[in-house]
């Protein structure tokens, strides 16, 4: 039986009826917070999940309908669908149907919002419902509400983020000496990484989040596929060793920049200065730095993933809906990701040593007018598998790629050189 | 002439007419951002200031009425009063009259909101207007929107903040070797400190901001006067030297804690670990760490003061109002600040050396069951004016104060011992 909330009723409101789609870690955390904290104006009425019998939780309250019939829940009197299934299908279809029926939707689905957010927001507006997705970027860290409600008065020109906790966990462990394969296995055992880790380590997850932030903060609608991510699997122990000699560490960084309307965006392993805020984030933590034309840098950090932090963002969206708060929908414009960053780079070579190698490499860089910043070669490596590093002053990726295309033809290279952006 | 915004008119809305009260640094920054960025739905129509002739700025647009007649502006067709005069009077009176007339108010006035926020919010609700004060805490850092919109789903149990840029500037400079008086003079010359710096260095400004955060994040309404601030002027160069030996630095920290409904809150100079996030904030930067029962720690940092960052928060509030976004008003309860922190302390003595001093001090601490963590005495100080430090394991302030009352009677003390909380 659906119970009423006297405090709300006296104000002429009735509780929002909530249906959770997907009762995994985050879904059960949402139900747990609602059951424990009893936020004013929220009532969990339905849970949809496949094989729902094994999910049933008495603590969620006697009035919850547990169902494996999505159609029935979509046709019910629930006011809000909380979509926590992830992926484009069937989550997208359920969301569209809920919005078309005039319901509101709260979701943590970054992929769906990155690719279809604009369309879904229009659908919601057309049918009088609301679409909220505060949990889609950086989970428990209120970056999306902060941007929408607290930075709408600024003009955000730059975004830098550690947006994927799995990659940050793996790279911080590798920084401390671990190898990629066992750390990935540990992350999988702890539930930080999926059985197929491609979305995370390949950079696709961070790219979706970056595209969402670009729309909300920079007000540009980009096709996420235009941001080509670099996987963190390219980075090896030797790179952490050289990075440290350069006063840096390596993290997966998502960054975007808007200069005179030109948009640049990349995702991939990046050298960051050990004294920069980015290096503060440990383990699965996330961090976002937004640089505004008027307000300067604003840093957000905290737990970007996990059941409870993500559930906090979902419940906060629900509380905001229950209190009649609306999203601040700043118009955005379509844009192409076609500008280039002009940043310093780290290039690591692995060669079978012979005379003239540095001469040839520096020649190829000079032909593209790329200035060398440092050449670092540590002792202790064998001459027939010698890693060494060249860092270069800020240059366009296109110029660097032309130089690397020429360098790649050198007979002494045991593998293609690894080039990483450096964050300044 | 008031001009209309076609984009809004097509949606049946007209721009919000804005009257700025107080055209100083922040007020003119607000006008500047509105003039340059032309946020959809905002129109500056009035500026009130004493001797307004010297403030008149043509770039603000031809439709602005410049006035030194507050009554006339309050009686005008402005929809929103932006109060940037500060202080309780006459700002409070203007805000009350605006709200009673059904207008909305955006303010950066932390003192007024800390002491009268609840009453003013009720007044706004009664007359159908809105009261927003995103700029009142940490200026350009969206802590208030982040708490209201993104953390309402959590139960915030702890707040730690560097909330006063002036103190952070002074203490970071002292940490680098400067003396208090010349640094204060520099801060005053740069516009970071007032001619009378008491509000800032005495901790009253940070206390007001802490009280506001406690209401929004912990949902407790406290009388700011119950939080007795400690001034940063108690700290000397020798304390920075000893702090560094302990792996710490000193900053003005505002902290609050809610445990089983018991509320503790303090503001004052505090030892912070050099590896803690708090030590990241430099110069006039602010930082807030909120610890949630479900989501863990969330860190916000950036520029907490200055014309432009504060103006970003004000304009963001205006944009949110123009887009129909409402505050998420979570009910709060009245509470007394009467609980005590159970934290480690740093105690610095200045003595005319003689045998038995440490024995007597440790005896006084032992009688209150306070455990010593470390005793540090650096070489190089004269025996007749010898500073040394005792740090103690977590204890209640009341126990420590009893021990110190007994210690203060010792004949060898050249000044009362300085006790500072340590942040762990």
Q: CB–CB of A296 and B315 under 8 A? A: no
Final residue in a domain of this structure, among B73, B101, B132: B132
- DSSP character for B201? H
Asked if residue B156 and residue B110 are part of one domain, the reply reads: no
Domain assignment present for residue B321? The answer is: no
To test the contact with chain B by mutation, choose from A5, A16, A152 the residue with the greatest count of B C-beta atoms within 10 A, namely A152
Mapping DSSP onto H, E and C, the string for B30-52 reads HHHHHHHHCCCCEEEEEEECCCH
- Calculate the alpha carbon distances from B255 to A46, B210, B227, B332 in Å: 40, 7, 10, 19
pLDDT confidence tier of residue B4, bands split at 50, 70 and 90: very low
Q: Which residues on neighbouring strands pair with residue A272, listed in sequence order?
A: A249, A423
Residues of chain B with pLDDT > 90, as a percent, come to: 88
Number of CB pairs, chain A paired with chain B, less than 8 A apart: 205
Q: Which residues on neighbouring strands pair with residue A333, listed in sequence order?
A: A220
Model confidence at A366: pLDDT above 70: yes
Residue A140 near residue A116 (C-beta atoms within 8 A)? no
To test the contact with chain B by mutation, choose from A26, A142, A148, A277 the residue with the greatest count of B C-beta atoms within 10 A, namely A142
State the Cα–Cα distance between residues B320 and B69, nearest whole angstrom.
28
Domain assignment present for residue B322? The answer is: no
pLDDT score for A2: 36
Quick: pLDDT tens for B18-61.
999 999 999 999 999 999 999 989 999 999 999 999 999 999 99
Asked if residue B125 and residue B172 are part of one domain, the reply reads: no
Domain assignment present for residue A331? The answer is: no
Final residue in a domain of this structure, among A255, A271, A303: A303
Q: CB–CB of A147 and B146 under 8 A? A: no
State the Cα–Cα distance between residues A243 and A237, nearest whole angstrom.
10
Q: Any idea what the CATH number is for the domain that residue B377 is in?
A: 3.30.70.260
- B-chain CB neighbours of A318 within 8 Å are 153
Asked if residue B248 and residue B117 are part of one domain, the reply reads: no
Asked if residue B212 and residue B117 are part of one domain, the reply reads: no
State the Cα–Cα distance between residues B193 and A261, nearest whole angstrom.
38
Q: Which residues on neighbouring strands pair with residue A98, listed in sequence order?
A: none
pLDDT confidence tier of residue B74, bands split at 50, 70 and 90: very high
From the list B357, B339, B343, the residue with the least C-alpha distance to B391 is B343
CA torsion sign for B68, B72, B74, B80 is negative
What's the gap in Å between the CA of A271 and the closest CA on chain B?
A: 20
Calculate the average pLDDT of chain A: 94
Q: CB–CB of A330 and B277 under 8 A? A: no
Length of chain B counted residue by residue: 424
Binding-site positions of B for NADPH:
110
What is the β-pairing status of strands A220-221 and A333-334? parallel
Stretch A38-62: mean pLDDT: 94
Of the residues B209, B258, B334, B336, only one is catalytic, namely: B209
Asked if residue B216 and residue B156 are part of one domain, the reply reads: yes
Quick: pLDDT tens for A201-256.
999 999 999 999 999 999 999 999 999 999 999 999 999 999 999 999 999 999 99
- Calculate the alpha carbon distances from A105 to A17, A21, A387, B90, B181 in Å: 12, 11, 52, 45, 57
Residue B158 near residue B257 (C-beta atoms within 8 A)? yes
State the Cα–Cα distance between residues A352 and A266, nearest whole angstrom.
32
- Predicted-complex ipTM score: 0.94
Q: State the residue range of the domain holding A177.
A: 143-303
Choose the closest CB to B299 out of A145, A153, A301: A301
Asked if residue A285 and residue A262 are part of one domain, the reply reads: yes
Quick: pLDDT tens for B358-393.
999 999 999 999 999 999 999 999 999 999 999 999
Stretch A300-304: mean pLDDT: 90
From the list A80, A76, A31, the residue with the least C-alpha distance to A56 is A31
From the list B144, B107, B134, the residue with the least C-alpha distance to B27 is B107
Tokens 């609301």 belong to residue:
A130
Choose the closest CB to B295 out of A37, A39, A312: A312
Final residue in a domain of this structure, among B103, B132, B161: B132
Crossing angle of helices A397-407/A357-367, nearest 10°?
A: 140
End-to-end CA gap in chain B: 58
Contacts of B140 (CB under 8 A, 6+ apart): A154, A292, A294, A295, A296, A298, B302, B303, B304, B306, B308, B309, B310, B312, B313
Of the residues A103, A111, A209, A258, only one is catalytic, namely: A209
Contacts of B363 (CB under 8 A, 6+ apart): none
Residue A164 near residue A205 (C-beta atoms within 8 A)? yes
Q: CB–CB of A145 and B144 under 8 A? A: no
- B-chain CB neighbours of A320 within 8 Å are 149, 152, 328
Domain assignment present for residue B273? The answer is: yes
pLDDT score for B281: 83
- Number of compact structural domains in chain A: 3
Q: Which two tokens stand for residue B147?
A: 């708490």
Model confidence at A137: pLDDT above 80: yes
pLDDT score for B6: 46
Q: Any idea what the CATH number is for the domain that residue B50 is in?
A: 3.40.50.720
Tokens 């309250």 belong to residue:
A61
Asked if residue A71 and residue A48 are part of one domain, the reply reads: yes
pLDDT score for A111: 97
Domain assignment present for residue B128? The answer is: yes
State the Cα–Cα distance between residues A287 and A353, nearest whole angstrom.
40
Residue A65 near residue A46 (C-beta atoms within 8 A)? yes
Domain assignment present for residue B319? The answer is: no
pLDDT score for A287: 97
- A-chain CB neighbours of B277 within 8 Å are 280, 301
State the Cα–Cα distance between residues B310 and A387, nearest whole angstrom.
49
- B-chain CB neighbours of A7 within 8 Å are 331
Asked if residue B290 and residue B194 are part of one domain, the reply reads: yes
Q: Which two tokens stand for residue B156?
A: 């915030």
pLDDT score for B416: 96
State the Cα–Cα distance between residues A332 and A26, nearest whole angstrom.
30
What's the gap in Å between the CA of B172 and the closest CA on chain A?
A: 16
Stretch A294-310: mean pLDDT: 92
CB atoms within 10 A of CB A401: 12
- Calculate the alpha carbon distances from A297 to A260, A324, B118, B171, B191 in Å: 19, 31, 31, 21, 20
State the Cα–Cα distance between residues B70 and B49, nearest whole angstrom.
8
pLDDT confidence tier of residue A13, bands split at 50, 70 and 90: low
- A110 belongs to an annotated ligand binding site: yes
Length of chain A counted residue by residue: 424
Domain assignment present for residue B313? The answer is: no
pLDDT score for A12: 53
pLDDT score for A293: 97
Quick: pLDDT tens for A248-264.
999 999 999 999 989 99
Q: Which residue of B has its CA nearest to A156?
A: B312
Q: Which two tokens stand for residue B414?
A: 């050249």
Residue A107 near residue B111 (C-beta atoms within 8 A)? no
pLDDT confidence tier of residue B127, bands split at 50, 70 and 90: very high
- DSSP character for B337? B
End-to-end CA gap in chain A: 58
Question: Catalytic annotation on B258?
Answer: no
Q: Which residue of A has its CA nearest to B331?
A: A40
Residue A153 near residue B321 (C-beta atoms within 8 A)? no
Asked if residue B174 and residue B196 are part of one domain, the reply reads: yes
Q: Any idea what the CATH number is for the domain that residue A163 is in?
A: 3.30.360.10
Asked if residue A296 and residue A158 are part of one domain, the reply reads: yes
Model confidence at B7: pLDDT above 50: no
What is the β-pairing status of strands B156-162 and B248-259? antiparallel
Burial class of residue B368 in the structure, from the number of CB atoms within 10 Å of its CB (0-12 exposed, 13-18 middle, 19+ buried) = middle
State the Cα–Cα distance between residues A118 and A333, nearest whole angstrom.
10
Model confidence at B5: pLDDT above 50: no
What is the β-pairing status of strands A418-423 and A262-273? parallel
To test the contact with chain A by mutation, choose from B30, B152, B286, B323 the residue with the greatest count of A C-beta atoms within 10 A, namely B152
pLDDT confidence tier of residue A282, bands split at 50, 70 and 90: confident
Torsions phi, psi of B162, nearest 5? -100, 100
The beta-carbon contacts of B112-115 under 8 Å, at least 24 apart in sequence, are B112/B87, B112/B88, B113/B208, B113/B212, B114/B207, B114/B208, B114/B209, B114/B211, B114/B212, B114/B224, B115/B88, B115/B208, B115/B224
- A-chain CB neighbours of B146 within 8 Å are 142, 145-146, 150, 300
Q: CB–CB of A297 and B302 under 8 A? A: yes
- A-chain CB neighbours of B318 within 8 Å are 153
Asked if residue B260 and residue B213 are part of one domain, the reply reads: yes
pLDDT score for B12: 53
pLDDT score for B395: 97
State the Cα–Cα distance between residues B142 and B4, nearest whole angstrom.
30
Contacts of B210 (CB under 8 A, 6+ apart): B159, B161, B163, B227, B254, B255, B256, B265, B267
Q: Which residue of A has its CA nearest to B326?
A: A325
Q: What number of H helices and E strands is found in chain A? A: 14, 17
Asked if residue B119 and residue B189 are part of one domain, the reply reads: no
Domain assignment present for residue B186? The answer is: yes
- Calculate the alpha carbon distances from B281 to A276, A372, B287, B311 in Å: 11, 33, 7, 21
């Amino acid at each position: 039986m659906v119970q009423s909330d006297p405090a709300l009723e006296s104000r002429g409101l009735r509780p929002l009826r909530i249906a959770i789609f997907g009762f995994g870690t985050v879904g059960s955390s949402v139900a747990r917070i609602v059951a424990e904290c009893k936020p004013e104006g929220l009532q969990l009425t339905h849970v949809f999940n496949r094989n729902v019998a094994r999910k049933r939780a008495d603590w969620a309250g006697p009035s919850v309908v547990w169902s494996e019939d999505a159609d029935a829940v979509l046709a019910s009197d629930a006011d809000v669908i909380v979509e926590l299934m992830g992926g484009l299908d069937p989550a997208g279809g359920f969301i569209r149907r809920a919005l078309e029926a005039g319901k509101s939707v709260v979701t943590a689905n970054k992929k769906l919002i990155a690719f279809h957010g604009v369309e879904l927001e229009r659908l919601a507006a057309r049918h009088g419902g609301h679409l909220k997705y505060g949990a889609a970027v950086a989970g428990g860290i209120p970056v999306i509400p902060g941007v929408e409600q607290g930075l709408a008065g600024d003009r955000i020109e730059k975004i830098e983020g550690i947006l994927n906790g799995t990659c940050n966990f793996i790279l911080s462990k590798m920084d401390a000496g671990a190898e990629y394969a066992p750390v990935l296995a540990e992350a999988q055992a702890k539930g930080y990484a999926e059985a197929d880790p491609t979305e995370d380590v390949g950079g696709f997850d961070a790219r979706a989040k970056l595209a969402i932030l670009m729309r909300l903060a920079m007000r540009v609608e980009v096709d996420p596929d235009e941001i080509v991510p670099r996987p963190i699997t390219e980075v090896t122990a030797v790179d952490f060793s050289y990075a440290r000699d350069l006063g840096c560490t390596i993290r997966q960084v998502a960054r975007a920049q808007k200069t005179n309307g030109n948009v640049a965006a990349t995702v991939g392993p990046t050298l960051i200065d050990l004294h920069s805020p980015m290096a503060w984030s440990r383990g699965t933590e996330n961090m976002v730095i937004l640089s505004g034309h008027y307000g300067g840098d604003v840093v957000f950090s905290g737990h970007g993933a996990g059941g409870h932090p993500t559930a906090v963002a979902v419940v906060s969206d629900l509380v905001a809906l229950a209190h009649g708060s609306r999203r601040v929908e700043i118009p955005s414009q379509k844009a192409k990701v076609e500008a280039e960053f002009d940043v310093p780079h780290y290039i690591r070579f692995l060669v079978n040593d012979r005379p003239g190698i540095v001469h040839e490499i520096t020649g190829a860089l000079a032909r593209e007018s790329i200035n060398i910043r440092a050449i670092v070669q540590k002792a202790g490596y064998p001459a027939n598998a010698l890693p060494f590093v060249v860092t270069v002053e800020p240059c366009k990726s296109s110029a660097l790629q032309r130089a690397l295309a020429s360098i790649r033809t050198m007979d002494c290279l045991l593998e293609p050189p690894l080039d990483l952006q450096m964050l300044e």
